[in-house]
Amino acid sequence: MDIIKMFEEIDCMSEEYIGFWRDICSIESESGDISALNSVADSISTFAQRQGFGVHRQVFDKAGDFLTVELNEGAEKGYAFLAHMDTVHKKGKFGYPPVKISGDIMTGPGVIDCKGGIAVALLAMKALAKNGYDRHTRLILTSDEEVSNTFSGQDGIDFIIKNAKGFNGAFNCEVGVDGEALVARKGILRLKVRITGKASHSGISYFDGISAIREAAYKIIELEKMSVSDGVTYNCAIISGGEAANIIPAYCEFTVDIRVKTLDEMQCAYDTVQNIAAHSFVDGTSSNIEVISRRPPLVLTEENIGLYTKLEAVASEYKLEKLNMAESGGGSDSAYTQMAGVPTVCGLGTTGAFCHTPKEYASVRSLSGRAKLLAAVCAKN
C-alpha cells in the first residue's frame, strides 16, 4: 500500500470530515438525553453508510443507541477503534450556534471529548478503504461513557467486550493531547455516602440536635486527606443536606469520586470509605454507602506498550506527530477492550484542551494528523 498516497487522500478528504465533525458536535448530546444521542447516532449512520461502511445499531432501554461501523466485515480481523457519542455539557452551555471555527480552533461541546475522535476514526477507515486495505476494521461507538456506562449497564459493557474480541489491538479515539499516547488510565469508583442525624430547633434546642452535615464534614476531611499524588485520590463532590437555616440538619449526603490504578486499589478504597462511613465522629449519627458506578482501570501491560511501539515506529518512519507513552487519571471505555483481551492505546482523538468545561476546543488540523497515524499503523501492521 502506498502510504504517502493515502496521506494525500486524507488531506483531500479533510474538509468533508471537518464538516461532519462540526455537524455531530452541533447536536448537543448529554449522556442522559436519549433523543439527542439517537439523533447523533442517526447522523453518524447516514454519513458512514454514504462512505460505504456497514453500520449495526444496538438499542438499550435507558441509554442512547450504540453503534458499530464496519469496514471489510467478515474478513481477517485487523484493528478496532473506539469512541463515544455523549458529552458532559448541558444544552446551551456554548451558546448558539454551539460550534464555532476560527482558523485552526474549533470550540463546542464534544469537539475533543469525544466527537472529534469519531471523525478521526472514520477518516482513517475511509483512507484505508480507498487504498485497498482488506482487513476487518470496526469502530465501536457508545452513548454513556461519560457516566461510566450507568444507563446501559452491564449490557453496554458486554457490547464493548463482545465487539472488541479477536482484534489485533484497539485504538481509543478519546481526548487527544499533543505528543501523548495513553497506555494506562485510572479506574473510577463513585460512591454516595448518606448520613442520618437528629433534627431540632437551632435556637431553642441546639444541643438536642445531631448534625448530619457536621458528621459529613468530618468524613469528607478524613477521606480527602488520604488522597495521594500519583496514587488513589478521593474527590468528595456533590453535597446536599439540611432543611432550613434554623433546623439542625437530620440528613446529609455526598458523593465520592475515587481514582485507582488497579482493581486491588479499588477494593481497598471501597473498604476505606465503608470503614469511615461506619465510624461516627459525631455521636448519634449513622451512615451507609451506595455504589453509583464502577469503571475498571486500563492497566499498564506489556501488550499495551507493544501496541504503542507500533504507533511510535510509524510516526518515526513517516515523520508524523511524535507520541510519548503516558498515563492518565481519567477513566474510559478502554478498560473494556482490555477486558476483551485486546492490547489497547487510548487518547488518539483530536487534540485540544479544556474538555468538560465551556472553553473546550480542538485543533482542526489534528483531525488529519491523527487519522494519518491510525491509518498508517493499520496498513503497516
pLDDT (0 to 100) of residue 225: 96
- Using one digit for the tens of pLDDT, what is the confidence trace for 333-370? 999 999 999 999 999 999 999 999 999 999 999 999 99
Residues in the chain predicted with pLDDT less than 50, given as ranges, are: none
pLDDT (0 to 100) of residue 230: 86
pLDDT (0 to 100) of residue 381: 84
Q: What does the alpha-carbon distance between residue 183 and residue 172 come to, in Å, rounded to a whole number?
A: 11
Q: What does the alpha-carbon distance between residue 156 and residue 131 come to, in Å, rounded to a whole number?
A: 33
Q: What does the alpha-carbon distance between residue 184 and residue 334 come to, in Å, rounded to a whole number?
A: 9
Q: What does the alpha-carbon distance between residue 341 and residue 364 come to, in Å, rounded to a whole number?
A: 33
pLDDT (0 to 100) of residue 330: 87
SS3 of 280-315: the string is CCCCCCEEEEEEEEEECCECCCHHHHHHHHHHHHHH
E strands, 30-118, in order: 54-58, 66-71, 77-84, 100-102, 105-107
pLDDT (0 to 100) of residue 1: 82
Q: Which amino acid would we find at residue 80?
A: A
| All cell numbers assigned to 60 | 438499550
* Residues 320/376, Cβ–Cβ less than 8 Å: yes
pLDDT (0 to 100) of residue 233: 97
pLDDT (0 to 100) of residue 131: 94
E strands, the chain, in order: 54-58, 66-71, 77-84, 100-102, 105-107, 136-142, 170-172, 180-185, 187-196, 233-241, 251-260, 286-295, 324-328, 344-345, 352-353, 361-363
Q: What does the alpha-carbon distance between residue 369 and residue 134 come to, in Å, rounded to a whole number?
A: 23
pTM, to two decimals? 0.91
